[in-house]
Structure 1
């Protein structure tokens, strides 16, 4: 089993956010995994 983790990308975060928004009537709850994923993707993009 691989132990390396792929960095969160904006595309991946977008897919997570889209699925979450569908579930919650177009809104992404504060502190949700979708919100954290988007923040992490932005952080990873700024790092490069």
Structure 2
């Protein structure tokens, strides 16, 4: 998941705080997934090895 994806999810949750997604903590999990994905991109070299 990209940072842009997580940002869109967070914005939607902020606009509709009573929604199931906002109340379930999905936005926080999306941000965490985006952070992990970004870290994976940094750790991986051209050969795909860490």
Q: TM-score, normalised by structure 1?
A: 0.67
The reply to whether residue 35 of structure 1 matches residue 40 of structure 2 is: no
- Checking the alignment, whether the CA contact within 8 Å between 2:6 and 2:27 is kept in structure 1 is yes
Write 1 or 2 for the structure with the bigger share of helix.
2
**Structure 1: runs of 5 or more not aligned:** 1-7
Runs of 4+ off more than 3 Å: none
**Equivalent position of 1:18 in the other structure:** 11
**Structure 2: runs of 5 or more not aligned:** 42-50
Figure out how many residues of one structure are paired with residues of the other and give that number.
38
Q: TM-score, normalised by structure 2?
A: 0.65
State how far apart, in whole Å, the 2-side matches of 1:31 and 1:39 are: 14
User: Superposition RMSD on alpha carbons, in Å?
Assistant: 2.0
Q: Radius of gyration: which is bigger?
A: 2
